[in-house]
Amino acid sequence: MKNFSILILVYLSVLACQNKTDNALANKLLKKHSMGNEIKVFRFHSVAKSEYGPQSYDHAHPKPSTREAEFYLDQSERSYYAEVKRYNFPGTFFFWTKEFQKNQHSYRYDVNGVLYGKRVVQRDSGAYGRAIKQAEEMLSFKQIGQLYAAKDFAVLAMDPSQSSIELKVRANSDTLVLNFETETKQLLSTHNLSKNTKYFFKDYVREGPFYYASEIKFVDFDGFEETTHVAEVGKLDVLDSEKLVLPKDHGAIFEDLDLDIELEKLSANLFVISNVDYDRYVAFKIEKGSIMVLGAPGGAQVSNEIIELIETKFPNFPIEYVYITHPHSDHMRGLSAYAKKGVKILADPYTKSAIEAFTPFAKDLEHFVFHPIENETVLNGVKFYFPTNSHSKSQSFAYFIEEEVIYEGDFLEVPLDNTIPTYMSEVERQFVTFLKNENLQYNRIIGHHRNGNIQPEIVEAYYQNNLQEGP
């Protein structure tokens, strides 16, 4: 019996020793990958590419779009500055914004005027925290440093094989598996088992006090993938104060609020709903005893709110049709709520195929009933036009014949303050050229995004001011 106890004691102390070595090695691996995390003021440049079928020209053959960013962070002062450019979208849309936080004040403004014009978005003081989160997603030393510094950090298991060392840890209440290459001790990937997200790290760089992966690939549970290249990570003495002020030619600060939806009557039977899914517009037309809804953004909750508003106002008219301008995820996510109520979806063959291929609809597809439309179809006082364009393989706009009003989505980007953007995309040029060639008379364009009342003279000025191809 005594011998047996000694055996157990020996076994336990071997285990303890093993644990100690494991912890020491884990410590060393994590410390190396946290190099630079202690630097309070620094900057970096990133270029992220992701491809997503339901935002592409052809949903079956997606091409990557790009998000390029320049970050300046001061973690002592809790201030930051970021310049973000988003491009390589189908139709050559180009969004370019700058944002910063100083003390409790945070703003975002537009450089080419496409999104906000001269208006400035006042953001909540959580913007700094969100910027830090974004930096963590792109910088391996912030990500690992964050884990390593977690209050509940614990090494749960270590499993060295010939080619890699697998480390299982708990940090910030999540469980993660980290994979290191045995020979170089470089971190290859992290798998967050709690969130079911993965990061893959490549091409490590040592730059001053920093050690980081210059390529990070992120994969989420939905299969969404984004590859980011990081460069120019540099320590700063201070964050340049000139970056933390609004430019003089910008004004009219507005709060970033999610307002209640609002109904506007355009004619006896044409209505516009604003503040849909934050800053979008949905229209509806009553004709021949039934209703056609135009635009289905957001998702089921947003659609149900609109359906309820229409049914309350017009209890005697059923919603018969719902129309989307093109099958991009942000324009069609609300369709399933209509389909479940037996509302027919107006679509040409490509739009129908893209809707049927949209994964979030898979479980509800049995409810989807389509009503075919094509170029110049006229239905209940609405005429549909399908201009050839570079944004979506099939994209149309609706023309309310009697009212001479257009409803479009992603054919025109005029900000709410009607200032003329200094950049015009290819698809907008194609759209305005189409209107000119058709000699289509209109007195108002309801834009799906941001501006529900675009006047013809604004469209003309935008077109004339941007006759040169942009960057």
| Residues engaged in binding Zn ion (CB under 5 A) | 328, 410
Rounded CA-CA distance 434/387 in Å is: 7
User: Which token pair is 84?
Assistant: 């973000």
**Nearest one of 147, 86, 145 to 115, comparing CA atoms:** 86
Which residues are bridge partners to 101 per DSSP? 80, 106
Rounded CA-CA distance 352/371 in Å is: 10
In the complex, what is the shortest distance from the CB of residue 143 to Zn ion, in angstroms, rounded to a whole number? 32
Of 169 and 294, nearer to Zn ion (C-beta) is 294
Of 207 and 426, nearer to Zn ion (C-beta) is 426
In the complex, what is the shortest distance from the CB of residue 329 to Zn ion, in angstroms, rounded to a whole number? 9
Of 65 and 101, nearer to Zn ion (C-beta) is 65
Of 36 and 297, nearer to Zn ion (C-beta) is 297
Residue type, 199: Y
Rounded CA-CA distance 334/372 in Å is: 19
**Nearest one of 218, 217, 168, 215 to 193, comparing CA atoms:** 168
In the complex, what is the shortest distance from the CB of residue 391 to Zn ion, in angstroms, rounded to a whole number? 6
Rounded CA-CA distance 392/389 in Å is: 7
Compute the chain's Rg from CA coordinates: 27
In the complex, what is the shortest distance from the CB of residue 158 to Zn ion, in angstroms, rounded to a whole number? 48
Of 43 and 328, nearer to Zn ion (C-beta) is 328
Of all residues in this chain, which one has the CB nearest to Zn ion in the complex? Answer: 328
Of 135 and 412, nearer to Zn ion (C-beta) is 412
Residue 10's contacts (CB-CB under 8 Å, 6 or more residues apart) are none
Which residues are bridge partners to 244 per DSSP? none
Of 36 and 295, nearer to Zn ion (C-beta) is 295
- Cα torsion 427, 429, 434, 440 to 10°: value is 120
